[in-house]
Amino acid sequence: MTELILIRHGQTELNRGPFFQGQIDVPLNATGLAQAARLAERLADERLEVIACSDLLRTRQTAAPTSRRLDLDPLLEATLREQHFGAFEGLSFDECIARHPEAFAAWQRHTAAFAVPGGESVERFHARVLAALRGIALRHAGRRVAVVTHGGVLDMVWRTAHGLPLSGPRVCPTPNTGINRVRVAGDAFEVLAWADDAHLAGLPAPDTPAPAADVADRLQASIAPASPSAR
């Protein structure tokens, strides 16, 4: 049995709007760096023995202040990366609607078997994430382990712990640098605490992406037959 402290990376510029960030290697913005510093203060007394993180820059930058404070070299794990969104990566939702309307419409149905062209389905992503976290828990059994990763990874853990299907939109909160405590015992995941971001009090509130309904309306307009007056 191992307790993992799962942490989403700090804010990036692409987090400020509805973009597909995926596995492109973008840095934290100024807010994200401030969040990472606050996280290090929060974790200073946790008696951590291991820090593992995705090998992408935004997670490494998030882990860095805590690593320095605790004198722990982070273990970089490519298997902890965000879901690969293929042709969508780096694009805003509006850009996806304009360039890949049919693929975006299929993605919006949130079926677990669907993969964006050149990307990774939720089914494959889930299998990768769970294998990675179970491996970390097994290799560091009984130790206090922090894992700095991505929002999609946290979603896979939440669904697994609560017995939820892989299809359907994300329902769990995943604030940047939020602390999520999970117990791993064999194949089972148990959520002990979730989305604790009390350490961010006083920092600017993050921007909120456009509501899903607004995006859906724009998509419908882009693929609907043109009206006679528009021809």
| Choice among 46, 49, 82, 84 that is catalytic | 82
What does the pLDDT read at residue 228?
Answer: 29
Based on the residue annotation, tell me whether 77 is a catalytic residue of this protein: no
Alpha-carbon distance of 25 to 22, in angstroms, equals 9
Is the pLDDT reported for residue 144 higher than 50? yes
> Per residue in 167-178, pLDDT tens?
999 999 999 999
> Per residue in 187-202, pLDDT tens?
999 999 999 999 999 9
Is the pLDDT reported for residue 212 higher than 70? no
Is the pLDDT reported for residue 214 higher than 70? no
The token pair at 172 is: 């769990």
What does the pLDDT read at residue 208?
Answer: 55
CB atoms within 10 A of CB 149: 30
CA dihedral for 70, 152, 171, 12, sign (positive or negative): positive
- What percent of the chain is predicted at pLDDT more than 70? 89
Mean pLDDT value across residues 109-132: 98
What does the pLDDT read at residue 217?
Answer: 53
CATH number for the region 2-200 comes to 3.40.50.1240
Residue 3: in which H helix or E strand, if any?
Answer: strand 2-8
> Per residue in 77-109, pLDDT tens?
999 999 999 999 999 999 999 999 999 999 999
What does the pLDDT read at residue 183?
Answer: 97
Least confident of 45-59, 83-97, 217-231: 217-231
What does the pLDDT read at residue 225?
Answer: 37
DSSP string, 127-176: HHHHHHHHHHHHHTTTS-EEEEE-HHHHHHHHHHHHT--SSS---S---T
What does the pLDDT read at residue 223?
Answer: 47
Based on the residue annotation, tell me whether 82 is a catalytic residue of this protein: yes
DSSP string, 198-222: GGGTTSPPPP-PPPHHHHHHHHHHH
Mean pLDDT value across residues 34-61: 97
3-state secondary structure of 7: strand
The token pair at 174 is: 């995943």
Q: At what angle do helices 122-139 and 151-162 cross, to 10 degrees?
A: 80
Domain boundaries, the chain: 2-200
Q: Mean pLDDT score of the chain, rounded to an integer?
A: 91
The token pair at 39 is: 């996280």
